[in-house]
Structure 1
Amino acid sequence: MRTARRRSERGGVIVRRALPGDAEALARLHRLTVRRSLAFLPDLHTPQEDLWFFAHELLPKRDVRVAEIDGEARAYVAFRPGWIDHLFVHPDHQGRGLGPRLLRLALADGTERRLWTFQKNLRARAFYEARGFVLEALTDGAGNEEREPDALYVWRAPAGENSPR
C-alpha cells in the first residue's frame, strides 16, 4: 500500500500531498503567515471563511503539498497547470529551505508557471527572482480583493532544464 507521505532525511521534514483533513491546519497557517509576514494587508476574511476556502476551493481544486515538521504543517504550496496560487512558509521557519523545496515540486514538470505577489512583499519578489522568475507586469491592485499593488511573475524552464535552482 502506498502512503501519502514521503519522508526526507533533511531536518526531519516530511513533504506530502495535502489531504481534505488538512484544511483547518493550512487555513490557520495561512492566516498566521499573512498576519505576521504581510501585515500591510487588510484582514478581509474571518477564520471561518478561511477554513471554507481551504476546504471547498483550494484543496479540492489545486495540487497542494505540505511540509511538516514534528507533525505540524509549517509550509505549503498550491498549484495548478500554468499557475502557482499559494506558497506560504510559517514565519518561524522561513529561510530554512522549505520554500525552495516546495517550489521545486510545483515546477517539477517543467511547464511554464505564473504567480502573483504583492509589490511590497520584497522578500517574496527576491525569492522568486533568484529562482528564475521574471517580472511580467505590475498592477495598481484594482484587480485583487486587497486593492494592493501586485506583481505578476512568470517562470519558464531554461533550455535543457526542468526545475528551478
Structure 2
Amino acid sequence: MSDKYSGDIKLRPIENESDIQAVVDVWFNTSIKCHEFVSEDFWHSCKKDMKDIYIPNSETVVATINNEVVGFISLLDDILASIFILSEYQNRGIGLQLLNHAFEVRNSLTLNVYEKNTKARQFYENQGFKEKEQGIDEHTGEPEITMVWNRA
C-alpha cells in the first residue's frame, strides 16, 4: 500500500496554469484551516485575485511530493508574500526548505503575519525573523505583526 506522505520533497518554480491553480488551492485550503478567525467568505473573495494577479506577478516556488503540489512560497521583491503548506504535510520540514530557498536568494525579507497565528509566528521567530511593528490588516481588520529577517 502506498503512503501519500512518503516521497522526496522537490522544490521548483511554478511552470504553468495547472501549478498556479494548485498553489491557489493550497493557499485557500490552508488559509481556512490556519486562519479560522477570518471569515471563510473573505478567502473566497480573494481567490480570483490570487490566481490572476498575485501568484503570476510574484516569484513562486512550489514544494512537491510525488508530483503533487503540497506547499509554496511567493516572494515579491524582498517581501515574503506567502508561504503555505497543506495541513496534512505540516511539521515535516517543507516550510523550512521553502524558507531556506528564500534565504538563499534574498539578503533581507519582510513579512506580515496575523497576531493570532501563533504557530506561524513561532516558526518565523525560530528562523531568525524579528518583530518590527504591529498593525491592523486593512482587509480583515485583524491585528498583524510585521517581521523582518536580514542576512547576518
Give TM-score scaled by structure 2 length: 0.88
CA RMSD of aligned residues (A): 1.7
**In structure 2, how many angstroms separate the alpha carbons of the residues matched to 1:78 and 1:62?**
6
**In structure 1, how many angstroms separate the alpha carbons of the residues matched to 2:13 and 2:73?**
10
What SS does the aligned partner of 1:76 have?
A: strand
- 2:28 touches 2:43 (CA, 8 Å); kept in 1? no
Runs of 4 or more, structure 1, over 4 Å off, are none
**In structure 2, how many angstroms separate the alpha carbons of the residues matched to 1:147 and 1:156?**
28
Aligned to 1:67: 63
- 1:97 to 2:93 alignment: yes
**In structure 2, how many angstroms separate the alpha carbons of the residues matched to 1:54 and 1:152?**
21
- Which structure is higher in helix share? 2
State the Cα deviation string for residues 43-93 of structure 1 (Å, max 9, x = none).
Answer: 21437x51x323321232110000011221111000022210000011011
Q: Report the identity percentage.
A: 23
Matches within 5 A, 1:105-116: 105-116=101-112
Consecutive unaligned residues of structure 2, counting only runs of 5 or more, are: 1-5
State the Cα deviation string for residues 103-153 of structure 1 (Å, max 9, x = none).
Answer: 1111213411100000000011010001110000011x2x42011000000
In 2 relative to 1, CA 109–96 (structure 1 residues): closer, same or farther, beyond 3 Å?
A: same
- 1:18 touches 1:59 (CA, 8 Å); kept in 2? no
Aligned to 2:38: 41
Greater RCO (CA < 8 Å, at least 6 residues apart) = 2
**In structure 2, how many angstroms separate the alpha carbons of the residues matched to 1:23 and 1:53?**
12
Of 27, 48, 52, the match for 1:30: 27
Aligned to 2:141: 147
**In structure 2, how many angstroms separate the alpha carbons of the residues matched to 1:83 and 1:124?**
16
